[in-house]
């Protein structure tokens, strides 16, 4: 049954998807802007186009399926979804304001899980009974594994590319790498859209089940992926310039060659995790890839102080989002 609360949840989910786009725009465009291959406007238009094009190619939404099962269906209610989304949007805006490249994916997951656990406690159940631990543990594991994969792939791709181009004239090589960066950036934007938009699809899908609009296990309505890919693409068009600066130049200086390597590594990691339905962080992945590229020069080429601060943001995102969601859920109960 379509209710006001369901409409509000869907609208908030799409608003979150939009904030995900401008928050994570930096992931797709930071390197291509910092290497001056494209202007900022050209870069966001390029990235947004490939964010949306995923709609025409990806029909098996494994990541959405994983997200929809994080909280046990018995504990999923409209207040739970509302609290989770409000918490995720709040944390996204806070980290965007301060230019912190945190994970939109993990703030959504933390908010959803935190609200679900709080609901279970209100109902007299144990906290762990509200969540599917297998899915949570997989997501937590990839907080570490995704950036490590990006780092390793970025390092080895850079070594291989350097070896293959060692006899090329620098001016000709740079010209070709700038062209190749258009391809690698497009691949990263495509992978970003496919991974991140699906998380919101999972939330909207489970909201429809909770409202009994569709039955559990039903096929996902086509309008959900269309709306989600559109929202994230529009968000990307809005840009995220504070985070672009952090990702594109403050971690390590990036050349077109290194931009190709970092974007290729990030895209490979995201395609791999999406294939297995693992909702990883695009932010974590591309940050790891950029660090891996920087390590091919020397350890000191990476600004480790900044990197450690980013890692702390990664660590606290899920618990802080969960705590905010718990507070919002308690407030909703008190007011209802």
Tens of pLDDT along the chain (336 residues)?
Answer: 778 999 999 999 999 999 888 776 666 676 677 777 777 778 888 888 999 999 999 888 999 999 999 999 989 999 999 999 999 999 988 887 877 767 778 899 999 999 999 999 999 999 989 999 888 888 888 878 888 899 999 999 999 988 888 888 877 887 888 888 889 889 988 998 888 899 999 999 999 999 999 998 899 999 999 999 999 999 888 765 555 555 444 545 667 888 888 889 999 999 999 999 988 888 778 888 888 888 887 666 566 565 676 677 778 889 999 999 999 999 999 987
List, in sequence order, every residue forming a beta bridge with 299; answer none if it has no partner. Answer: none
Type and span of the H or E element at 317: helix 304-335
List, in sequence order, every residue forming a beta bridge with 131; answer none if it has no partner. Answer: 71
165: which residues sit within 8 A by CB, 6+ positions away? 173, 257
Domain boundaries, the chain: 4-335
Q: Is 165 helix (H, G, I), strand (E, B) or coil?
A: coil
Structure tokens at 23: 């928050």
List, in sequence order, every residue forming a beta bridge with 71; answer none if it has no partner. Answer: 131
The pLDDT value given to residue 251: 46
Global pTM reads 0.87
Alpha carbon separation from 176 to 45, 72, 170 (Å, rounded): 22, 50, 10
Alpha carbon separation from 249 to 194, 273, 281 (Å, rounded): 26, 27, 20
Write down the residue that tokens 């947004």 correspond to: 48
The pLDDT value given to residue 307: 65
The pLDDT value given to residue 252: 52
Nearest to 213 by CA among 56, 65, 9: 9
Q: Is 131 helix (H, G, I), strand (E, B) or coil?
A: strand
Cβ-in-10-Å burial (0-12, 13-18, 19+) of 134 comes to exposed
The pLDDT value given to residue 300: 65
C-alpha span between 136 and 267 (Å, rounded):
23
133: which residues sit within 8 A by CB, 6+ positions away? none
């Amino acid at each position: 049954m379509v209710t006001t609360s369901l409409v509000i949840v869907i609208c908030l989910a799409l608003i979150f998807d939009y904030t995900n786009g401008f928050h994570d725009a930096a992931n797709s465009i930071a390197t291509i802007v910092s290497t001056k291959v494209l202007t900022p406007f050209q870069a966001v238009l390029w990235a947004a186009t490939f964010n949306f094009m995923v709609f025409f190619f990806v029909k098996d939404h494994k990541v959405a399926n994983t997200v929809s099962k994080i909280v046990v269906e018995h504990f999923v209610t409209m207040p739970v979804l509302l609290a989770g989304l409000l918490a995720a949007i709040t944390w996204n805006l806070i980290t965007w304001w301060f230019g912190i490249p945190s994970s939109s994916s993990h703030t959504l997951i933390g908010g959803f899980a935190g609200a679900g656990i709080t609901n279970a406690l209100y109902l007299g159940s144990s906290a762990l009974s509200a969540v599917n631990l297998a899915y949570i543990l997989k997501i937590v594991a990839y907080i570490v594994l995704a950036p490590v994969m990006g780092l390793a792939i970025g390092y080895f791709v850079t070594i291989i590319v350097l070896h293959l181009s060692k006899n090329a004239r620098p001016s000709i090589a740079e010209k070709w790498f700038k062209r190749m960066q258009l391809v690698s950036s497009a691949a990263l934007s495509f992978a970003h859209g496919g991974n991140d938009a699906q998380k919101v699809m999972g939330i909207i899908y489970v909201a429809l089940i909770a409202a009994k609009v569709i039955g559990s296990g039903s096929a996902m309505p086509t309008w959900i992926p269309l709306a989600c890919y559109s929202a994230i693409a529009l968000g990307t068009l809005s840009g995220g310039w504070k985070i672009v600066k952090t990702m594109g130049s403050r971690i390590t200086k990036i050349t077109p060659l290194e931009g190709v390597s970092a974007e290729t590594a990030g895209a490979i990691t995201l395609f791999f995790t999406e294939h297995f339905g693992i909702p990883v962080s695009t932010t974590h992945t591309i940050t790891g890839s950029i660090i891996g590229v920087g390590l091919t020069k020397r350890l000191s080429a990476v600004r480790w102080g900044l990197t450690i601060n980013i890692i702390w943001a990664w660590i606290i995102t899920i618990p802080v989002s969960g705590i905010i969601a718990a507070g919002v859920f308690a407030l909703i109960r008190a007011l209802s």
